[in-house]
Each structure stands twice: as structure tokens, then as C-alpha cells.
Structure 1
Amino acid sequence: MFDDLPPDLDRLHTLRVWHTLWLQRIDAKIAALTRRQAEEERGRRNRPAPPEWIVELGIGERRPPVQVHAGDCYLAGTRRRPVDREEARRLLTAGLTACGHCRPDSTLGITELSNRPTLTAAAGSSAADGGISSGRAMADSAAGPTAGRTQGWSSYVTKIQAAPQPHVEPVGTRWQPVFVKHEA
């Protein structure tokens, strides 16, 4: 029989104390993990149900509502509050924008919302401009579809190629960049 334990009594007592301490540490860890798992399970059971509808709130002092979302919509921002079905219907019929992903207007059975001005655009718009709240949007639409566009990537690349490219050459005792114009 292979016996790897020490032959004297003092060392055997030391090993016994050492292993008793390790068993106590292991038992304490097992108890802590058991308590933690029980708390997590209790938290899962007692978690409140997610709201059926969410209103995304804007930025500012009064934080006006911006969009209506379904309760599980992942596009809803972090500034939000839960609302019930009636308030969601009331906000949508008042002109608040519906989320384009979760489509709460179709889920709530509200149709023909596209021809109404939005609630958020009412601050800077009038009925004469069709609900457009920014003057830049009106100017862009009046100037035509190509207003404000660049000439395209090819002209940009041509300008880059024609620009002087840095080239490092030794000048005196230091290396200094020297601009060399490449002929296209």
C-alpha cells in the first residue's frame, strides 16, 4: 500500500487542521452561491411585467413625448415612461409619431395617421408649410434634389491625387518633409 502521509503525529495534526480550514472555506462558498442563486430566482419570479406601451421622451426641461413604442421595442431610447393602451391611443390620435419598427398604430388599430402633422413639428411649423418645421428643409426642397450635393467621389479623388504629397528626405542633419508635386 502506497502511503504518502507523513509518519509523525504533529504533521498529521497540521494536515488535518489545514484540510478542515479548506473544508470550511468550501462550505462557506457553497452556502454563498446557494443564497445568490435563490435570490436571483426570487428576483426573476417577482420581476414586474414589462409595460405594454412606451412613450419615448424628448430632451429638455419638460421632456415632451417624441414617439410611441410597443413595450418590447428595442428602438425605444433610454428616456421613456410606460403608458397604458388608452393613453397610447390618445397620443397617437393627437399626432405623436409612431415607431416605424414596432408599428404601435397598426397594433392599436389606428389608421390614416400619415396625413396629419406630427405633434413634435407643431412648435416651428404652420399649416401653410405642410408641417415642415425647419427652414433648411424648405430651402432644400425648393432648390431641387441635387442642392447641396458634392460633385461625386471621382472629383474628390482627382483633387487628392493632384495635391502635393509629402515626401521625407534628409536635409542637413534632420529629416524634414519635402512636398513633391506628382504629375497626373
Structure 2
Amino acid sequence: MFDDLPPDLARLDALMVWHALWLERIDRKIDYLRQRQAEDERGCRSRPRPADWIVELGAGARELFQVHDGECGMTGRRHRAVGRNEARRLLTTGVQACPFCRPTPSCTSST
């Protein structure tokens, strides 16, 4: 029995210390990863909901370029969130709808 272990106490004690140190390192890593996972989950829960509608701004500060669905990935750098009624008003007053996500006045109607 136990033929694969050293025969003397000094080396067995050294192995015991070595294993204890490794177990401590493993426990610290597990604690760290659990803390990171909890922080990530907390961050996902507290992340704000994306806007329902986005208006993309043109080159001029007040020029409106296109209206996008809030999940459209084709918005430019300059954009701002707008509400449902504002998106409907913009689309009916001539601001272009994005050709990719295609928001239309009918899909912005009140429910």
C-alpha cells in the first residue's frame, strides 16, 4: 500500500506543504472567478435597455439623416434615442427610414 510515496517523513511533510500551497492557490483562483462571474451577472442585470428608436444625425448638428430601429447595427456615430411618437413624426415629415432595418410609420403606431 502507498508504494508510490516517499518512504521517509521529511519528504512526505514536504509533499504535504506543497499540496497545501497548491490547494490554497486553487481556492484563491476559484474565489476570484466566482467574484468575477457575480460582477458580470450584476453588470448584465443593471445594463440599460437599448432605445426602441434611434435618429441618426447628419453632418450638421441639427440635420436629421435617418430613423433606425433601436437594434439596427447600421447607425452612424452621431445618433440619439427618440421615443415612438417622435420616430413616427420624423418618418412622416420626410426623414428617411434606414434601408436595412426599415422602420415604417405603421410599425411605430401606438398600441
- TM-score bracket, normalised by the shorter chain, equals 0.7 to 0.9
> TM-score normalized by structure 1?
0.53
- Where relative contact order (Cα < 8 A, 6+ residues apart) is larger, the structure is 2
Residue of structure 2 equivalent to 1:85: 84
Residue of structure 2 equivalent to 1:147: none
Q: Distance in 2 between matches of 1:27 and 1:107?
A: 53
Matched, 1:46 2:49: no
**How much does 1:26 deviate?**
0.4
Number of aligned positions between the proteins? 108
1:41-69, CA deviations, whole angstroms, 9 ceiling, x for partnerless residues? 11222222111101112345x26321000
Q: Distance in 1 between matches of 2:4 and 2:80?
A: 68
- When residues 26 and 102 of structure 1 are mapped into structure 2, their CA distance, relative to the original with a 3 A threshold, is same
Q: Distance in 2 between matches of 1:50 and 1:94?
A: 25
Larger Rg belongs to: 1
Is contact 2:55-2:79 (8 Å) kept?
A: yes
Opposite residue 86 of structure 2, the aligned amino acid is: E
Opposite residue 96 of structure 1, the aligned amino acid is: V
Identity of aligned pairs, percent?
62
Matched, 1:69 2:68: yes
1:13-33, CA deviations, whole angstroms, 9 ceiling, x for partnerless residues? 111111111001100111111
Is contact 2:52-2:83 (8 Å) kept?
A: yes
Higher helix proportion, which one? Answer: 2
1:55-107, CA deviations, whole angstroms, 9 ceiling, x for partnerless residues? 112345x2632100011122223332111112212222332111122222241
Unaligned 5+ segments in structure 1 are 110-184
> TM-score normalized by structure 2?
0.83
Q: Distance in 2 between matches of 1:100 and 1:32?
A: 46
Runs of 4 or more consecutive aligned structure 1 residues displaced over 3 Å after TM superposition: none
Q: Distance in 2 between matches of 1:104 and 1:9?
A: 77
Residue of structure 2 equivalent to 1:107: 107
